[in-house]
Amino acid sequence: MSHLPAEHPAVKPPRVGVLLVNLGTPDATDYWSMRRYLSEFLSDRRVIELSPLLWQPILQGIILSLRPQKSGKAYDSIWNRELDESPLRTITRNQSDALAAHAAAHWPNVQVEWAMRYGNPSIAVGMDALAGGGCDRILVVPLYPQYSAATTATVNDKVFEWLQKQRWQPAVRTLPQYHDHPAYVNAIAQSIRDHVAGLDWTPDLLMTSFHGVPKEYLDKGDPYHCFCAKSGRLIREALDWPADQYQQTFQSRFGPKEWLQPYTDVSIEAAAKRGVKNMLIAAPGFSADCLETLEELAIEGAEIFKHHGGENFAFVPCLNDSALGTAMINQLVGEELAGWV
């Protein structure tokens, strides 16, 4: 029997929420869809730390007049035609569905949603769905193994921005970086082993490529570079891969400033020129395949390597919604939900 007055609004049973968050995706590959997405992404002060008074005229007047066409063409080369969406959206949804199925079997009072930091579905939409479902405790899971202010922190910023507008705030936890977590290291190492087992050639060089950030971010105290270095070392050690056949690099630099080095594209070219014939490349900093892995590494990387004398080139897919990736997310989330479920 309810003890609430007859006129009292309905009260839902308390639940625990989990929000998986990935970087973002345009809604389509046309000019205006790409422009909206790039404008949101490149207007983030965590991503571009220039004063808006200096940056916005350049962004809105020059960059967004030209870059949407180029980026749209690149996205078009990897677009999921069946669902008419980017692979990142497809994979993140699948990761969320897999976690929800695990939750239903092991944590029946847990609700799982997913969101994008840039684009749709937004973080606010995801948080609204959890709050609307009666979640008074929410775990936010930025799907970035290595913390950076330009990735993990900006996700958390958006969550806290949503919290500022709530009359009744849920308790919130955020998943910390998991760059050295055994579940992550072992999953990446096993995915590389599995891929090598399917090749009919032996790699002369294993390259792990992480997304770059401007070097000045490191100089200002961002720990991202250190976390990437540790991840790469632990993965190589888990594989027992020879140190002289391994290289760690950084990709996707943008603009004239110096970024973290060595650069991936330059390193691929240099490896081919010095006689490496068989290259395997992996992207341990990405939780799901996206433009930066499917187009920049798998397609452009192969072209650079073979154009400069390389012969065999293979890209190891991200963990995505594989059994390895799903088990890792289940474990990380389960550990962070301790005391709540």
pLDDT in tens, the chain (341 residues): 467 677 766 777 899 999 999 999 999 999 999 999 999 999 999 999 999 999 999 999 999 999 999 999 999 999 999 999 999 999 999 999 999 999 999 999 999 999 999 999 999 999 999 999 999 999 999 999 999 999 999 999 999 999 999 999 999 999 999 999 999 999 999 999 999 999 999 999 999 999 999 999 999 999 999 999 999 999 999 999 999 999 999 999 988 899 999 999 999 999 999 999 999 999 999 999 999 999 999 999 999 999 999 999 999 999 999 999 999 999 999 999 999 99
Query: What is the pairing mode between strands 110-119 and 15-25?
Result: parallel
- 161 assigned ligand-binding residue: no
Phi, psi values for residue 288, rounded to 5°: -150, 145
User: Could you tell me which residues come within 8 angstroms of residue 314 by beta carbon, excluding any fewer than 6 positions away?
Assistant: 195, 199, 203, 279, 280, 281
User: Could you tell me which residues come within 8 angstroms of residue 113 by beta carbon, excluding any fewer than 6 positions away?
Assistant: 17, 18, 19, 20, 96, 126, 129, 130
- CA torsion 172-218-49-301 (nearest 10°) is -100
Q: What is the pLDDT of residue 290?
A: 97
CA distance 236 to 245: 10
Q: Are 267 and 207 in contact (CB under 8 A)?
A: yes
Query: What is the pairing mode between strands 171-174 and 135-142?
Result: parallel
Q: Are 139 and 17 in contact (CB under 8 A)?
A: yes
- The residues spanned by each domain of the chain are 182-316
- 292 assigned ligand-binding residue: yes
The CATH architecture of the domain made up of 182-316 is 3-Layer(aba) Sandwich (3.40)
Phi, psi values for residue 276, rounded to 5°: -65, 125
Which residue's structure tokens are 């639940």?
15
